[in-house]
Amino acid sequence: MSIAWGLLLGIGLLLAASPILWPGTDSESPRTSAATRAHELLVQAGMGRVGLGTVAVVSILLGVAAAALVFALVPVVAVAGAAGILVLCLPAAVVVWRARVQRRATRVVWPDVVDHLVSAVRSGLALPDSVVTLAHSGPPITRAAFAEFERDYRMTGGFADSLDRLKDRLADPVADRIIETLRMSREVGGNELTTVLRNLAAYLRQEAAIRSEIEARQSWIVNAARLGVAAPWVVLLLLSTRPEAAQAYNSPAGIAVIIVGLGLSVVAYRLMIGIGRLPEERRWFG
């Protein structure tokens, strides 16, 4: 019976990861969009060189190992399966968390980036050279991306193409707005670039301050959601160490209770997170 459950779990994990391991043709736009979004999250998390297939394989191996370990300690099939699913999603959760932390850190420095651009443009530098200066005088967290832009621009001489590749490296909606403003100024011309950039910097500072205040006030909802989801499962693990409880949870009724509880926990957690967390800005110019 244990072998059958293990095979069933392995087949389920393989089917869940199959869209990433074996992507379809380019005509399947939803799948392509999901893969693009996943790659953007990896870039924002500082893991742009890690492939989606690598993340999927690591997730599957960790999920199977966690399920086997929990089943060895707590002989309850449903609990082991729930632990495997949780650990299976853990690498993706870590990537999302790192991307969110990176976006929160860069959100504060984008106004400084704009200020550096304004200073460079007002000093008489050409627009490409003004962007290049950010590789040396800009905020430290963004210098690596602008250093890549500098090397790219020096090699190719194509400002528009270098801006496109810079957008892919930054993968940030605020950076998209700044870059598109520079592109429009380069193509259309005009003397209002510094005014537009100053207004953009003021707006970004105001937006960052408002978001920080709201996130600080709503952080207790996120923490309460995490505590509320984790507490029942800790109690379940403790109860499952008793032989009579393990026998009850291995019955069809016990498995059904655990499965329903897992589904309710996921729905409640996502609902609380949706209430307590501000939506992230979308990349309209990505």
pLDDT of residue 38: 79
Cβ atoms 107, 211 nearer than 8 A:
yes
pLDDT digits (tens, 9 = 90+) for 19-46: 555 554 444 444 457 777 777 888 877 7
DSSP state of 261: H
**Which letter, b or e, does each residue of 39-62 get, where b requires 16 or more Cβ atoms within 10 Å of its Cβ?**
bbbbbbbebeebebeebbeebbeb
Mean pLDDT of the chain: 81
Give the pLDDT confidence score for residue 29 in this predicted structure: 46
Taking the C-alpha atoms of residue 105 and residue 208, their distance in angstroms, rounded to an integer, is 10
As a whole-number percent, the residues of the chain with pLDDT over 90 amount to: 4
Q: Which two tokens stand for residue 239?
A: 């109860």
Give the Cβ contact number of residue 229 at 10 Å.
17
Taking the C-alpha atoms of residue 285 and residue 177, their distance in angstroms, rounded to an integer, is 7
Q: Which two tokens stand for residue 193?
A: 């670039």
End-to-end CA distance of the chain: 50
Six token digits for residue 181: 């403003």
Distance CA 153, CA 185 (A): 18
Residue from 81, 102, 100 nearest 92 by CA:
100
- Which comes out higher in pLDDT, residue 118 or 26? 118
Question: CA separation (Å) from 281 to 130, 162, 173?
Answer: 27, 24, 7
Report the SS3 class of residue 250. coil
In this structure, the dihedral spanned by the alpha carbons of residues 103, 229, 88 and 249, taken in order and rounded to 10 degrees, is 180
CA 107 from chain centre, in angstroms, equals: 15
For residues 241 and 210, give the distance between their C-alpha atoms in angstroms, rounded to a whole number. Answer: 48
Residue 58 has pLDDT above 80, yes or no: yes
Flag whether pLDDT at 177 surpasses 80: yes
On the question of pLDDT at 161 being above 80, the answer is yes
Percent composition of the chain: helix, strand, coil (DSSP 3-state, to 5): 85, 0, 15
pLDDT of residue 28: 42
Among the residues of 189-251, which ranges form H helices? 193-240, 243-249
Q: Which two tokens stand for residue 206?
A: 């105001």
The number of CA neighbours under 13 Å toward the Cβ of 42 is 17
Tell which residue, 147, 149, 177, 173, has the closest CA to residue 161: 149
